[in-house]
Structure 1
Amino acid sequence: MNGRRFHVLLGPDGAGKSSVMRRLAGMLPEWRLVSTDDAFVAPEHALIPRLRRDLHAHLLPGLGAAYSVDFLASVLQTAVVHLRDQVCGGDPEVPVLVDSYYYKILAKCRTAGVRDSRMYSWWRSFPQPSGVVFLDVSPGTAWRRRGNGARLNLLEHDGDDGDRADFERYQKNLRELMLEEVRDLPVTMLREQPDADRAAEAVREVLSA
């Protein structure tokens, strides 16, 4: 990495990372923020959000019938490689904050039943961050932020129904797998904040320390 400094913002579904990243864009002008969210993807990388939309609109509804979990992992890998490329590119003197990096996608692939250890080994060989800021959230708050289940997708809950118990069980497992992936890194755990503004300020304080 030639001394490049980067951190990762991590957390379960419903932790509010996207909202926090948008607020941090105005609070950390000296940092470069990297995400697959539309707001942070340059026009020349328009394929990335397009694939993300197609994944939700077409792949997930057909998962297990039209598409295998291995195909799902192949599509998700495009996001993983894009994030790595963004971390490795640009001015090495500018610090970078990455939304989830490969950790959350790897945890979701494991939860979905993807067993490709060679793919995981490759992802784990990517440059590692200086630190991880883990934005925690209670299951109840996360459930409410997902419209009490109305805005869930198949990569956010166990089972077919997507009820609250399925969601909470999945999120508990996802959280454990993500923390397992970063167990050898400096991790700052941030307890649930009352709103996105305060969460963004808490993240800013960690990154500015």
Structure 2
Amino acid sequence: MTELSASLPGWRTLSTDGEHVREEHRLIARLRRDVVEDVLPEVGGAYSTEFLASLLQTAVVHLRDQVEHTNPAAPLLVDSYYYKILAKCRLAGLDENPMYAWWRSFPQPRAVIYLDVSPKSAWRRSGDGARLNRLEHYGTRPEWFAFESYQKNLRKLMLEEVRRLPVTMIGEQPSTARTAQAVREVLAA
């Protein structure tokens, strides 16, 4: 998103990643950090999966709010929207939840660009599991087979969620710069 933001003048990019959250919405970045550092390690213990999902809902609603408050004539690129969070909640054991129907009622994108990265590459990029959180692998510890299985299921659920939308798949690229270029090519088409 950083590379795309810098190279797409006139486009608005939305994400819940800290560096892409506007100053007036820093709460979103703090909540994300707190979820990763404080809540995820305690899911199944101090916190329920439902509690986790309710916190993740803040990110989903924040992105929806930003989409709705953007000039409809302005081009907009949104990182994951609610699709990835919904898929991760389902993989965490919340197959159905009343908020899913609400999320699915949010304004839909005109198109989806799916960046397809192999589990092997994602594992390597995560420092062989060292930088993973509990919503990126099965089990309590990041191990290769639990990560690979989770990532394959995450891909399946995300594609299931966007099946009614026009989806362009971008295969794995050798660098961030090449990935950003591939996305720009799709956006220009």
TM-score range, shorter chain: over 0.9
- Within a 5 Å distance, the mapping from 1:95-114 to structure 2 comes to 95-114=75-94
Displacement of 1:92 after TM fit?
A: 2.0
- Specify which of 87, 100, 107 is matched with residue 127 of structure 1: 107
Unpaired segments of 5 or more residues in structure 2? none
Partner residue of 1:171?
151
- Specify which of 133, 138, 144 is matched with residue 153 of structure 1: 133
Displacement of 1:115 after TM fit?
A: 3.9
User: What is the CA–CA distance in structure 2 between the aligned matches of 1:147 and 1:33, rounded to whole Å?
Assistant: 27
The two structures have a TM-score, normalised by structure 1, of 0.88
Q: How many residues align?
A: 189
Partner residue of 2:176?
196
Displacement of 1:116 after TM fit?
A: 4.0
The two structures have a TM-score, normalised by structure 2, of 0.98
Partner residue of 1:72?
52
Aligned residue for 1:46, secondary structure, equals helix
Structure showing greater relative contact order (alpha-carbon pairs closer than 8 Å, 6 or more residues apart): 1
Partner residue of 1:162?
142
Find out whether 1:86 has 2:66 as its counterpart. yes
Unpaired segments of 5 or more residues in structure 1? 1-20
Aligned residue for 1:134, secondary structure, equals strand
Cα 1:141–1:115 change in 2 (3 A) is: closer
Aligned residue for 2:67, secondary structure, equals helix
User: What is the CA–CA distance in structure 2 between the aligned matches of 1:46 and 1:116, rounded to whole Å?
Assistant: 30
**Runs of 4 or more above 6 Å deviation:** none
User: What is the CA–CA distance in structure 1 between the aligned matches of 2:69 and 2:164, rounded to whole Å?
Assistant: 25
Aligned residue for 2:62, secondary structure, equals helix
Superposed CA RMSD in Å reads 0.9
User: What is the CA–CA distance in structure 2 between the aligned matches of 1:138 and 1:90, rounded to whole Å?
Assistant: 33
User: What is the CA–CA distance in structure 2 between the aligned matches of 1:106 and 1:73, rounded to whole Å?
Assistant: 9
Cα 1:115–1:136 change in 2 (3 A) is: closer
Q: Supply the AA of the counterpart residue of 1:59.
A: V
Which moved further from structure 2: 110-119 or 90-99?
110-119
